[in-house]
Amino acid sequence: MPTPHDPPLVSISSLTYHMPVLVGSMTPTAIWTAAKAGAEYVKVFRAGTLGPGYIVGLDVLYSF
Owning domain of residue 43: 2-61
Summarised one tens digit per residue, pLDDT across range 3-55 is 555 556 666 667 777 777 777 888 888 888 878 877 778 888 887 788 888 88
Number of domains in the chain: 1
Three-state secondary-structure class, residue 18: coil
The pTM score is: 0.66
pLDDT at residue 12, rounded to an integer: 64
Residues 25 and 18: their CA atoms lie apart, in Å, by 21
**C-beta separation of 26 from 43 below 8 A:** no
More confident residue, 62 or 49: 49
The conformational region for residue 30 under phi > 0 = left, psi -120 to 50 = alpha, else beta, is alpha
pLDDT at residue 39, rounded to an integer: 77
Residues 30 and 42: their CA atoms lie apart, in Å, by 9
